[in-house]
Amino acid sequence: MSSLTVAEALQLPAFQRAEPVVVVGEELLGRPVRWAHATEQRDVVPLLRPGDLVLTMGTGLPDDADVEGLRRFAEDLAEAESSGLVVELGTRWTDAVPSSLVEACREQSVPLVVLTHVTRFAALTQAIGERVVDAQLHELVDAQRVHETFTELSFAQAGPAEILDAVCRLTGGPVVLENAEHRPLDFLTGSAPAAGFLDNWQARSSRVTVARRTGWDEKAGWLVTRLGTAERDWGRLVIASPERPSQRLVAVAERAAAALALHRLHDRDRDNAVRRVHHELMTALQSAPDTPGLLDRCEVAGFPTRRRRFLGMVARRPVAAGPQDVGEVVSAFVRAAHGLRVPALVCEADREVRVLVSVPATSDPDPVADRLAARVQGVTPLLVAAGRASPTLDGIGTSLLEARQVADAVPATTVTTGPAGAAVRRLADLHVRGLLALLGDDDRIRVFVERELHRLREADADRGTLLVALRAFLDHPASKTDAAASLHLSRAAFYDRLAKIQAVLGVDLDDAEVRLSLHLALLADEVSRQRS
């Protein structure tokens, strides 16, 4: 595609010697010129291609009095998507072209230029042809450069940072790699100013959609390429493009997307091997830490075990955050641990991610766990729980078990989204929930829950409204009005339900010990349900 415009063509020396004057369409001179075509024929539609600049002396055009004929000629130019009409004065018309042709060109939005001096059309055609061919040759060279750049990156199994750096070098503008939740994963400014480019990114990006795999959003000034399959996008590549992107820029975006996809495949293959080894080592450390050769295998895997402290972590996708590929979370933890230089084993087990961190014996593992979790939560909403650190290998299983118990006890509605929230949940953060999590499936707890709640469940079997009302009452101990409002009930209706609860249970809800007992039963039941 030629980068020459009508305005640029008129600035060529061959045109300047003819002293061109723009009669119609000054605002249309940005149209691209694909070629120049000299003709004296009236019927030009079969001769032209979109973007052809028509050169004529006017000898074959309709007479000045044939207003309709001149109008049809202008319509034909518009129909053929001609970039413009250039008329040489001196042969057919000496001083000016007919006003009817001027008006017709104006109506059809066809740029009209007159050459006030006689010139050779062959020279004009040659000048335009040379510029167009030069531009096309430049595009071919540029396309080859793009091809070679991304081919080399693919052979080198380059990562996202190297791919984005190549995009910046080829485009000069800011580029962002974001995940499926529109959170930026990486960002490079390039040579263009990027002040404020990432401001309020997630909200802005979520409003930008493209119908095809690659598309341009004029309002945002973004060229967007979707990453992943048609059924499952895992992110997008966004390149700043205030003006309509050229074919070259689109090619850069799509080749970069292909390179990122290839890296993802290589990364997944590497992850599979890493996950298998990590799973084997973590299982062995929990069940048989004295297995011969186990500690040497851990050292080879980059997980030191001598004079260290160990901390177990569990990561889960909160229910409110929707489904998540557990493998993606494993990969995120592996990358985060590598980036923070934290020795860690990461694996998937029972549809959750388990992480075992190793720190020097003199270090506190809790801040390390917080940084690791915060980095992953910056990419995806995630609930991360940790057990207590163990100074010996024998305590690894206990630390991981405690992390799972903490995760079981965290309310199902909790969504931890990143550094702004609590990065890691621990037993000390959960208070009575933590106690219930430690007690686990103790039969005495189940008996207690059944004794406290079974009559209310039987009376409430059809609708469950009494249990909901009881929970609202206990969650708002200071105000029954607030409790009623949380259920969108009037005070009278809420009081009526409380009276029914007291009648069914045979208790006084104003008794603090009764309220404590019922609250413990509800919490124990909730923790048990989450665990199952």
Q: Domain with 518 in it: what CATH number? A: 1.10.10.2840
CATH number for 120: 3.40.1390.20
The HSE-up count of residue 114 (CA atoms within 13 Å, CB side) is: 18
**In which band, very low, low, confident or very high, does the pLDDT at 428 lie, cut at 50, 70 and 90?**
confident
In a domain, 276, yes or no: no
Can you tell me the mean pLDDT for 162-168?
A: 82
Same domain as 251, residue 335? no
Same domain as 366, residue 329? yes
Number of domains in the chain: 4
Same domain as 251, residue 216? yes
Sorted by sequence, the CB contacts under 8 Å of residue 507 that are 6+ apart come out as 514, 518
Taking only the tens place, the pLDDT of each residue in 86-132 is 999 988 888 888 999 999 999 999 999 999 988 888 888 888 888 88
In a domain, 270, yes or no: no
Same domain as 474, residue 428? no
In a domain, 271, yes or no: no
In a domain, 66, yes or no: yes
Of residues 325 and 473, more confidence is placed in 473
Q: What percent of the chain has pLDDT over 90?
A: 22
Does pLDDT of 269 surpass 60?
no
In a domain, 50, yes or no: yes
Choose the final residue of a domain: 389, 408, 435: 435
Same domain as 72, residue 192? no
Q: What pLDDT sits at residue 158?
A: 66
Mean pLDDT of the chain: 83
Distance CA 179, CA 187 (A): 12
Distance CA 101, CA 95 (A): 14
Does pLDDT of 65 surpass 60?
yes
Structural domain harbouring 360: 288-435
Choose the final residue of a domain: 96, 131, 166: 131
Sorted by sequence, the CB contacts under 8 Å of residue 372 that are 6+ apart come out as 313, 333, 336, 337, 340, 342, 344, 355, 357
Distance CA 423, CA 333 (A): 13
Q: What pLDDT sits at residue 174?
A: 86
**Most trustworthy range by pLDDT among 311-320, 361-370, 408-417, 450-459:** 361-370
In a domain, 136, yes or no: no
Same domain as 202, residue 160? yes
Q: What pLDDT sits at residue 340?
A: 92
Can you tell me the mean pLDDT for 183-203?
A: 76
Same domain as 26, residue 100? yes
In a domain, 495, yes or no: yes
Continuous H helices in 411-464: 427-430, 432-439, 443-459
In a domain, 147, yes or no: no
Structure tokens given for 49: 């291609």
Can you tell me the mean pLDDT for 332-356?
A: 90
Same domain as 424, residue 307? yes
Same domain as 118, residue 31? yes
Choose the final residue of a domain: 396, 418, 435: 435
Same domain as 118, residue 94? yes
Same domain as 448, residue 428? no
Q: Please choose, from the candidates 402, 265, 399, the residue with its C-alpha nearest in 3D space to the C-alpha of residue 345.
A: 399
Same domain as 299, residue 256? no
